[in-house]
Structure 1
Amino acid sequence: MPSLLYDTPVSFVIRKLSGNRLLRYPEEQPRYGLAEASQSWDVLSGARVQEETDKRDTEAAPAQITIVSWYGASDPENPQNWSFWKKFWVFFVILYVSVGVYMAASIYSAAQEDIARTFHVSSMVSSLGLGLYVFGYGAGPMFLSPPSELPSVGRNLPYIVGMVIYVLISIPTALAQNIGGLLFLRFLQGFFGSPLLTTGGASLGDVSNEFNKPYAYYSLAMFSLAGPALGITIAGFSVPVLGWRWSLWEIILATGPGVVLLLLLPETSKATILYRRAQRIRKLTGRDEFRAGSELEAAQTHMISRLYRSIVVPWRLNILDPSIAFTSIYCGLVYAIFYSFFEFFPLVYGSTYNMTLGEIGLIFISIIVAVSLAGIPYALFTHSVVNKSIKAGTPMSPESRLLPALFASILVPSGLFIFAWTSRPEIHWIVPTIGTMLVSGNVVIIIQCIFVYITMAYPQYTASLFSGNGFVRCSVAFAGVLWSQPLYYNLGVEWSMTLMGCCCVVCVGGIFALYFFGHMLRAKSRFTVANKGA
């Protein structure tokens, strides 16, 4: 049981109050053979120390540095070696909090009509509460996600700080007395809820081996679409009975426990775990030569460089590399279509099939079913093709990992066309619902495959690519929320959905071009060339 608490925020409090007598780490135990355990650690000579630290402007580096690493291949502090239950706990906390934040986006949708009447605004203005929230968690990563070069920060600190502010902001949001304040606070909710949505996948990857990482990442992608569907299902029954403000209080009920869970979440960043180990060893030995490798990397990177990488590099990548720009726009389009469902469903199922708000909420359960079913062929592809190639020593190219997206890109417009032309009173509601299942189930496949592609194609820019892709994706989704109602009222469900389907058809050509010719584009990319010369 004590091992489950190591490196959690709660453990720091316990250790502080007990004077480090409780929850001791291996090197703090009496008669622990630190010298023997560290025999495999690298030792840098004075010349290499100077080479590694020549950019430091602070205190002089010691004449020799011992790089603190793991105590062998079976070191229990290495996240890869954690027990099944400790890894399960990481998955549970990350997925629970992620679902809560994603649910909060759509919970608002069930209250839009009441909010419009209460504050005497148009339905488009009230829909901004959904759009600004989505835009907020797309913009947040550029400013709130810590650079990987800062091991002192780790993953948990941004999670906890962001979620505490998120929950506190949710209180005045539920009490807002004017539309301007409500919309501004909704944006802030999304903004401060973003750290876990952005870095949660990294936490899951930290505790997963090479073969299980695709499943870990898919679980987070699946919950990112299932969460909004679950949120509006709940609100569909509660808002008609308890009023629109109750939907905003439900956000606190859903995410508040997440703050407590995060206090019990162990730090998963290897760089941060080793950094803290080096700190303890320096304190125990009184010798300054023990350093984590991540400390040397952090010393070589200035704050201006970190800000440039967080804010400028994502835009340069999207503007100057056509393949990256396409992946961002395509993810944005399918994400916008998904979020447009939260505007279309009440209009279509409410007016065409005369369903109540609660019954419309139940329709969204089909999305949860769809994203779950879509995971079956993706898991088979990962097990039978991806992992098999890795075990054989012949890893697949980034373009080959796009194979599931080829099929998914065809099924998304197909689902849109089905929804568009079967949403009629004389056709049973299950038929258009099948169309939306084809869309939502394959949207998650497209996004997942693109994330894998950009990670493999440009590994040195992974953080910037995720940040830029997330911002573009959520910005287009924000626009998708706004264009939904004007499209519906001006073109009708048939032609509005057909228009979006045609946009997806154009992107089918793009994803096939990336699959067959992506390696040629990467060879000519200035970013790939720069990396080769680094």
Structure 2
Amino acid sequence: MADLFRDAPIGQIIRYITGNRVLQYPEEKPDFQCPHGYTPNDMTDKKPQPTLSPVSTPSADDRQDSVDPEKAGLEPSEPIVPADRLNHNHQIPSPDRTALERMETSHSILSHTIMEKSRTNPTSNPLSRTTTREALSRAHTRADLEAAFATAAAVTTTTTTTTQTSPLTPLPSHPILPQHTASGQILVDWYTTTDPANPQNWSLTKKSLVSLQICLYTLAVYMGSAIYTPAIGGVMAEFDVGPETALLGLSLYVLAYGIGPLIFSPLSEIPRVGRNPPYMITMGVFVVLLVPSALVGDFAGLMVLRFLQGFFGSPCLATGGASLQDLFSLVKLPYVLCLWAFAATAAPALGPLIAGFSVAVEGWRWAMWELLWLAGPIFLVMLLFLPETSAANILLRRAERLRKLTGDERLMAQSEIDQANLRPKDVAFEALVRPMQLIVVSRDSSMESWGGGLLMMEQMDPAIGFTAGYVALCYGIYYSFFEAFPLVYIERYGFNLGQMGLTFLSIIIGVVISIAIYYAYIYKVVEPEIRKFGLGAPERRLLPAIPASLLMPIGLFIFGWTGSVGHIHWIVSVIGIVIFTMGVFVLMQCIFVYLPLVYPQYAASLFAGNDFARSTVAFAAVMFSRPMYIGMGVGPGTSLLGGLTAACIGGILVLYLYGDKLRARSRFSAK
């Protein structure tokens, strides 16, 4: 827990104030011994190699020079895996191998793939446990993805087997020798495969605590959108505006948290910045803005504040998933992403429930105070207990400490070398242009020289374009419920604001059922397939999306035509919402797993563009849904939306059946 507090924002502030004299890292302590390969004496014995160092057993001299693991801040380790025990076949190990052999073979698979590319990327280290996000961003081919998943599957199998045989037995730990670049730099890496500084090696308790904070952060921001809906009547009365104008308080918030990730998400990918500064600075501003939002005296000021709230609350939308990717392996990541998605989906449904009863008694401003009471404590918990999870940032700061300790300027993190050649316009391109480019057009050669001429558009990448449109449609329908529910449950069934808020619990029930089904599918089908046959075609991840796409129009038709007549019990329409939510949740999980497997290099830009697209559609849906439902009626209006979702069923089937052919034509997909 001491490390957790040290790495949290408050710990870093204390270190800065005290000049790093308290809450020190192992490299800053007087009794620290550099691991083998990082001291000048170690480096003079080895000439810089432009290729990968062989994975071999340390010599007797090396073992004499090895450091005391406790003094180096490491866990006790075993010798490096002998080279003659590595199997360089591109096959997933058979089930009868031991867990350790499976892990060794998986490392050799990754080594073989990287050595094929060592001429162009001589700094790759096959024994280094990179994060899930790094594994995806560095995957240029299907072979890269297969290797990454093989390693993740083997490590997961090793963990499971070790826990089952002896829960107290730690996993084997192997030293990692630093790699040398062609220009003579020594790349700072994890000291061992079980280095406690690596977020992938943190204990389950620590990972769970970090994940819980990310989920609560997401919950507060997403709840901030719909918590405004019970306050709309009070805003209309106090500022003398119509319902469509008052709805801007919801729609502007949703639009803003789609724009924010285009700026804040790329910032968090800069190693010098990391995840925590964008989180803490923007979350702090978000909390502060809630105070004037509850006290504002004019409508225009309230709308500006609502937009700013959504904008500064947005980093959790895209970067929250990145933080979870920092922590969990490719095999286990879908489990925790489901929980994060649960927070994002349930939060807008909880907003009307929480504010519905209080606003009716205390007035519309009470909704803003309630959001402050939720977001404020979450911000304080993050300040005290949210450690940095970006591996690039952690290794960069380790390299700085080692340079200070040894005086050797050749010690550098890979991210420092990468950033040295990065131009500001490249950062701007990836942040602002790439997400839109991926969604709207396929890459043209002129796009690579952004700023040097006109951008020539080609045909749309069908997989990216369709999934972005489908997800945006689902998101827009979801936010249209905040206009449909009052028309159905207040006007038709005579509910009050608080009772109407209770109907949003149907969304949470639908998500809980979906998670149970999806977890069972991953555990019983996906994981065994990966271990036995390898990654397989990405389209396999879309299999649950086919029945899920059928549930969406069914749920919408049930809600629309039972809720609009008034004489059918209200529970029937609520069941329709449960069915619709189940379909949406499973569909979005499938799509968000599918896209990074097809376009691993552009996963971050894809999600940023997807966030912007669905938030823009949701913004429009909030504005047009009320006139649509009033003009057409709830039944026909919902049927129109249900018809659109029914039309999208064919698109999912096309992706599932012909996705391999579409990938072959795409300029972005991993070949």
TM-score category (smaller protein): over 0.9
Q: Any idea what the Cα deviations from partners look like across 1:229-267, whole Å, max 9, x if unmatched?
A: 111100011100110011112221111122212212000
Match of residue 227, structure 2, among 104, 107, 110 = 107
Paired letter, 2:239: F
Does structure 1 residue 478 correspond to structure 2 residue 619?
A: yes
Matched with 1:415 is 555
| Aligned pairs, number | 522
How much has 1:18 moved relative to structure 2? 4.0
Matched with 2:406 is 285
Q: SS at the partner of 1:481?
A: helix
**What is the percentage of aligned positions where both structures have the same residue?**
45
Would you say the 8 A contact 1:318–1:468 is kept in 2?
yes
Does structure 1 residue 120 correspond to structure 2 residue 261?
A: no
Tell me the TM-score normalized by structure 1: 0.93
How much has 1:276 moved relative to structure 2? 0.8
Residues in 2 aligned to 1:282 and 1:62: alpha-carbon distance in whole angstroms: 19
Would you say the 8 A contact 2:269–2:275 is kept in 1?
no
How much has 1:221 moved relative to structure 2? 0.9
Larger Rg: 2
Q: Name whichever of 19-28 and 65-74 sits farther off.
A: 19-28
Does structure 1 residue 245 correspond to structure 2 residue 386?
A: no
Would you say the 8 A contact 1:46–1:63 is kept in 2?
no
Would you say the 8 A contact 2:350–2:504 is kept in 1?
yes
Match of residue 146, structure 1, among 246, 266, 270 = 266
More helix by share: 1
Residues in 2 aligned to 1:312 and 1:44: alpha-carbon distance in whole angstroms: 42
Alignment of 1:30-69 (within 5 A): 30-36=30-36, 38=38, 45=48, 64-69=184-189
Matched with 1:58 is none
Residues in 2 aligned to 1:260 and 1:129: alpha-carbon distance in whole angstroms: 27
CA gap of 1:432–1:520, structure 2 versus 1, over 3 A, is same
How much has 1:285 moved relative to structure 2? 1.5
CA gap of 1:65–1:72, structure 2 versus 1, over 3 A, is same
How much has 1:383 moved relative to structure 2? 0.8
Matched with 2:525 is 385
Does structure 1 residue 274 correspond to structure 2 residue 414?
A: no
Would you say the 8 A contact 1:418–1:435 is kept in 2?
yes
Q: Name whichever of 271-280 and 61-70 sits farther off.
A: 61-70
Would you say the 8 A contact 1:410–1:508 is kept in 2?
yes
Match of residue 386, structure 2, among 265, 269, 290 = 265
Paired letter, 2:558: I
Residues in 1 aligned to 2:38 and 2:537: alpha-carbon distance in whole angstroms: 37
Report runs of 4+ in structure 1 exceeding 4 Å deviation: 37-41
Alignment of 1:302-341 (within 5 A): 302-320=423-441, 321-341=461-481
Paired letter, 1:283: K
Does structure 1 residue 358 correspond to structure 2 residue 478?
A: no
How much has 1:448 moved relative to structure 2? 1.5
Matched with 1:186 is 306
Q: Any idea what the Cα deviations from partners look like across 1:179-216, whole Å, max 9, x if unmatched?
A: 22211221111111011121111112211123220011
How much has 1:452 moved relative to structure 2? 1.0
Alignment of 1:457-496 (within 5 A): 457-496=598-637
Would you say the 8 A contact 2:286–2:309 is kept in 1?
yes
How much has 1:309 moved relative to structure 2? 1.1
Q: Any idea what the Cα deviations from partners look like across 1:374-423, whole Å, max 9, x if unmatched?
A: 10111111111211122224213221101111111110110000001111
Q: SS at the partner of 1:509?
A: helix
How much has 1:38 moved relative to structure 2? 4.9
How much has 1:219 moved relative to structure 2? 0.8
Residues in 1 aligned to 2:512 and 2:238: alpha-carbon distance in whole angstroms: 38
Paired letter, 1:345: F
Would you say the 8 A contact 1:76–1:82 is kept in 2?
yes
How much has 1:148 moved relative to structure 2? 6.3
Match of residue 162, structure 1, among 272, 282, 289 = 282
Does structure 1 residue 344 correspond to structure 2 residue 464?
A: no
Matched with 1:8 is 8
How much has 1:433 moved relative to structure 2? 0.1
How much has 1:62 moved relative to structure 2? 11
How much has 1:149 moved relative to structure 2? 5.4
Q: SS at the partner of 2:412?
A: strand
Match of residue 85, structure 1, among 205, 223, 226 = 205
Q: Any idea what the Cα deviations from partners look like across 1:426-452, whole Å, max 9, x if unmatched?
A: 211110000011112221211111111
Would you say the 8 A contact 1:132–1:187 is kept in 2?
yes
Q: Any idea what the Cα deviations from partners look like across 1:24-48, whole Å, max 9, x if unmatched?
A: 222233333214275999x894989
Paired letter, 2:10: V
Residues in 2 aligned to 1:414 and 1:183: alpha-carbon distance in whole angstroms: 36
Paired letter, 1:337: I
Matched with 2:318 is 198
How much has 1:68 moved relative to structure 2? 0.4
How much has 1:323 moved relative to structure 2? 1.5
Would you say the 8 A contact 1:37–1:71 is kept in 2?
no
CA gap of 1:129–1:299, structure 2 versus 1, over 3 A, is same
Q: Name whichever of 251-260 and 346-355 sits farther off.
A: 251-260
Residues in 1 aligned to 2:497 and 2:594: alpha-carbon distance in whole angstroms: 39
The alignment's C-alpha RMSD in Å is 2.3
Q: Any idea what the Cα deviations from partners look like across 1:109-146, whole Å, max 9, x if unmatched?
A: 00111211221111111111111111111111111223
Paired letter, 2:582: G
Q: Name whichever of 69-78 and 438-447 sits farther off.
A: 438-447
CA gap of 1:64–1:311, structure 2 versus 1, over 3 A, is same
Residues in 2 aligned to 1:200 and 1:400: alpha-carbon distance in whole angstroms: 26
How much has 1:495 moved relative to structure 2? 0.2
Q: Any idea what the Cα deviations from partners look like across 1:342-377, whole Å, max 9, x if unmatched?
A: 111111100111001000111111211110111011
Match of residue 234, structure 1, among 354, 373, 376 = 354
How much has 1:288 moved relative to structure 2? 0.9
Would you say the 8 A contact 1:146–1:153 is kept in 2?
no
Residues in 2 aligned to 1:130 and 1:338: alpha-carbon distance in whole angstroms: 13
Q: Any idea what the Cα deviations from partners look like across 1:293-343, whole Å, max 9, x if unmatched?
A: 111111122110111111111111111212211111100000111111111
Q: SS at the partner of 2:186?
A: strand
Matched with 1:516 is 657
CA gap of 1:71–1:6, structure 2 versus 1, over 3 A, is farther
Q: SS at the partner of 1:34?
A: coil
Residues in 1 aligned to 2:588 and 2:254: alpha-carbon distance in whole angstroms: 16
Paired letter, 1:278: A
Residues in 2 aligned to 1:413 and 1:396: alpha-carbon distance in whole angstroms: 30
- Structure 2: stretches of 5+ with no match in the other structure: 52-119, 123-180, 442-460
Residues in 1 aligned to 2:544 and 2:361: alpha-carbon distance in whole angstroms: 43
Does structure 1 residue 497 correspond to structure 2 residue 638?
A: yes
Would you say the 8 A contact 2:550–2:583 is kept in 1?
no
Residues in 2 aligned to 1:317 and 1:19: alpha-carbon distance in whole angstroms: 45
Q: SS at the partner of 1:145?
A: helix
How much has 1:178 moved relative to structure 2? 2.1
Paired letter, 1:145: S
Paired letter, 2:199: P
CA gap of 1:328–1:36, structure 2 versus 1, over 3 A, is same
Would you say the 8 A contact 2:259–2:612 is kept in 1?
yes
Residues in 2 aligned to 1:174 and 1:408: alpha-carbon distance in whole angstroms: 40
Paired letter, 1:374: S
Paired letter, 1:478: F
Residues in 1 aligned to 2:13 and 2:654: alpha-carbon distance in whole angstroms: 54
Would you say the 8 A contact 1:133–1:186 is kept in 2?
yes
Q: Name whichever of 166-175 and 22-31 sits farther off.
A: 22-31
